[in-house]
Every structure is written in C-alpha cells, then in structure tokens.
Amino acid sequence: MPRQQPNRSHRHSPLDGTWQLQQISQTSGVNYTPDDPGLYTVTFKADGAVSVTADCNSGVGTYQAGESGTLAIQLTSTNDFCASGSLSNQFISYLKVANSYTVDGDALSIGFSSNNGLMTFTAAP
C-alpha cells in the first residue's frame, strides 16, 4: 500500500507538524539510525509549543525559529531508562542544543551545536 503523504498546506511555518527521526549524524562520523522512526518524533506547533516522543521518554517545551533558519528549543523531558539500543538520550540531548534548521518539502534537518551534528527527519504520516 503506498504511503499517504501528509497535508502540509495548513502549516503556518515550515516547522509546523510532526516529524519522525531518520538519522543522527555527528561530524566524527558516528551515525545513529533508529530501528523504528515512529518512536522518535518532534511536533512543532504554530503557537511556539514543542512536544517530543523519545522511545520510552517524552518532553514538552517551547521553540523559537528564525526566518534565517536559526532554531532554539527549550525542553523539559522525562528521564526513564529505556531498553538497550535506545536513542532516547542522544535524541533529547541534541534537540536541547539545536541551533539551525532547514525544511525541504517533507524533509527536515536540524543542526545541533554539540559535535556540529545533524538530525534528519521526514514528515510523519
């Protein structure tokens, strides 16, 4: 069955909506790819609210996105111990130090200052 494309026409800003993590890439060459991208999501709302699902953890907060692609996220999250292989700690930590974003259709990239890395996302179905 073909994947249904999300309706992005209602967005107030390019970030609005829910995004699923596809990969975390560090400049050191270390890459993390989630087994199930649906366990790692970030939802940006037009009012500046942000919510996160990170495997067995979750978080809420606020964000500020500049027209030039700057991004700052203030996030409070649970800190439960997830199963071995979870990317929860990395995902939440890197969102907290996010400093830039780009959106290209249904693809989102978030840059983070720690390790000058990049997280890539696709729009959630």
- ∠ CA(96), CA(83), CA(78), 5° rounding? 35
Q: How confident is the model at residue 13 (pLDDT cuts 50, 70, 90)?
A: confident
List the domains of the chain with CATH numbers.
17-77+85-123 (2.40.128.270)
Bridge partners of residue 61, in order along the sequence: 50, 75
Q: Rounded distance, CA 60 to CA 73, Å?
A: 10
pTM over 0.85: yes
Q: What is the model's pLDDT at position 7? A: 43
Residues 94/114, Cβ–Cβ less than 8 Å: yes
Q: How does pLDDT run across 24-55, given as a tens digit for each residue? A: 999 888 999 999 999 999 999 999 999 999 99
Q: Sign of dihedral through CA atoms 71, 39, 9, 107?
A: positive
